[in-house]
Chain A
Amino acid sequence: MAARTSRFAFFDSGLGRRLAGLAAANERVAYGVLGFVGISLLWEVASGTGLIRRSLLSAPSLIWKAAVTDFGSGAIWPHIATSLNEFGLGFLLALVIGIPLGLLIGMFRRVDYFASVLLSGIYATPKVALVPLIILVAGIGLEAKLIVVFLLTIFAVVVSTVSGVHSVAQRHLDLTRSFGASRWLVFRSVVLPSTFPFILTGVRIGAGRALVGVVTAEFLSANEGVGYYISLYGTFLDTSRVMLGIVLLGVFGVAIGEIVRLIEKRFEVWRPEIS
């Protein structure tokens, strides 16, 4: 309708319409950015006016400055690399052992009974309590950190996998019995696909725990890593760098969550979009 004119000329213009369309399509993103930027601005203003003490809680501009300095000099990269390495190895170990263990416990009653007391005992114990022992046994090197990450992560993976196996629909199992499917076929065609979303939930929760494990281990004994970076600059009262470390962990956590979400989308073509 080219002939139509309107007081809202801007909104009728191509650019305006495109912007409005983009905003509608990305409402989630738009509000997300607005929330993040808004709160950061408030923080900046509050610390500028002295409402928040800069020496204790820093300010976005100071954190940014610290980031520019430490990324510019490259000083922070070894810390990130170390933490990523600990995270990756510990997490992988937990998955490689935790998923099969969960499947075994879920599928075989006797394995469940056998492991139940031990597992629920360790599950209920705060894993941090084990750290002195771990240091004693494994020293303060990579192995000790991997053990901490592993212990913090594996239970989420096991518990989630077990509940996945237990939630396999009886009607599907009846069907396999009715057709006389072999045990291996039942596992492949029913148990694994039914359990898969639960395993991914375990992976998602486990990733969060693994990150906690990395930071915990590095707080207690380390000479490199993002957790070490945070605790080191904490003792120097350099709160901007402390905040930078925290932001890095947050970004990393979100990134892992997004990656798991992509995996879920990739593998669950059969699951209808929940609207």
Chain B
Amino acid sequence: MTSTDLALSARGVRMEYRDRSSDTSLVAVENVDLDVADGEFVSLLGPSGCGKSTFLKIINGLLKATAGEIKLRSVVKGREDAMVFQDSALFPWYSVLDNVAYGLVCAGVPRKEARKRASPFIDLVGLQGFGGKYPYQLSGGMQQRANLARALAVDSAILLMDEPFASLDAQTRELMQSELLRIWNAAKKTVVFVTHQIDEAVYLSDRVIVMAPRPGRIIADIHIDLPRPRQLSIKRSPEFATYENDIWRLIAGHQQATADPVQSA
């Protein structure tokens, strides 16, 4: 694989929080190397405190790593990456259309033009006819669709998703998972997806990167060789169960005996 095929390349990424008053430090992310190929769907999977969200925020530039290097494939226009946040973080004072257009407005596109360019993405995520609605008029699942449309509209090389379905009920969550695969297939994006749900990671991904806490690090990189396109019914196949079991054992093996509370990172 040559470097031009890579959408993302991380080398030796380390994140350390220093507490000056007690002169101790907490290593949230330790020596993470990760390559993601163009068009690949990769999940970062692990329990709270394993640094998966922190690592995602470092890729996004919201946090600055203590050490290491992140390379994103440069794009001709627009942003290299776009973030889909855990809570939908839609602006309640904007209509769905204006929310979806927001990333474009940030990039300097005039509002009218941004709206025009945003509206196909509203259709793509299945929100036809809801452009004029306000977020409070949408269900949780629909809010996450709008959230996704906003990230897609900026036409980035990589989509970063931070547990976007965490607050949805189980049924809506499954529906959104299959919707995400449909949209991923249509939009042809590279996705880095953070989750703590094993089945979600296996169902969605080409590769599942398993992480462990204290310090947050990668303990396994598992290729999911399930055929695509995947129906939700694949979750009940024996191959799927094998992947789930293997990953579950990996995580359980690294779980510390003491369950001390660690802030979600």
Contact = CB atoms under 8 A, between A and B. Distances in A.
B136 A271 contact: yes
Contacts of A190: 91
A270 B89 contact: no
A172 B106 contact: no
Q: Max chain A CB contacts within 10 Å: which of B79, B87, B91?
A: B91
Interface string A44-71: 0000000000000000000000000000
A174 B85 contact: yes
B106 A270 contact: no
A179 to B, nearest CB: 4
B192 interface: no
Nearest to B135: A270
Interface in B59-91: 60-62, 79, 82-83, 85, 87, 89, 91
A189 B99 CA distance: 10
Contact of B106 (A169, A176, A194): A176
B60 A185 contact: no
A272 B93 CA distance: 11
Given A193-B91, A270-B93, A271-B92, A171 B103 contact: no
Given A172-B89, A180-B79, A193-B91, A272 B136 contact: yes
Contacts of A235: none
A181 B106 contact: yes
A180 B79 CA distance: 9
A157 to B, nearest CB: 21
A171 B62 contact: no
A178 B134 contact: no
Given A174-B62, A178-B82, A270-B134, A189 B92 contact: no
B89 A175 contact: yes
Contacts of B92: 270-271
A177 interface: yes
Contact of B60 (A178, A181, A269): A178
A178 B62 contact: yes
A177 B102 CA distance: 12
A178 B91 contact: no
Interface in B125-173: 134-136, 154
Nearest to B137: A272
- What's the interface size class on A, roughly? 20 to 34
B106 A171 contact: no
Nearest to B95: A270
B91 A189 contact: yes
B175 interface: no
A269 B82 CA distance: 29
A168 to B, nearest CB: 11
A171 B79 CA distance: 20
Given A185-B105, A193-B93, A269-B134, A177 B154 contact: no
B107 A171 contact: no
Contacts of B102: 175, 179, 189
A270 B136 CA distance: 7
A178 B83 contact: yes
Interface string B89-117: 10111100000001101110000000000
A255 to B, nearest CB: 28
Q: Max chain A CB contacts within 10 Å: which of B83, B94, B106?
A: B106
Given A189-B91, A193-B91, A180 B134 contact: no
Contacts of A177: 61-62
Nearest to B81: A178
Contacts of B91: 172, 189-190, 193
Given A269-B134, A270-B134, A271-B136, A180 B89 contact: no
Nearest to A190: B91
A185 B93 contact: no
Nearest to B136: A272
Given A172-B89, A270-B92, A180 B106 contact: yes
Contacts of B135: 270
Closest 4 CB pairs of A and B: A179-B106, A193-B93, A181-B106, A178-B83
5 contacts: A171-B87, A171-B89, A174-B85, A176-B106, A270-B92
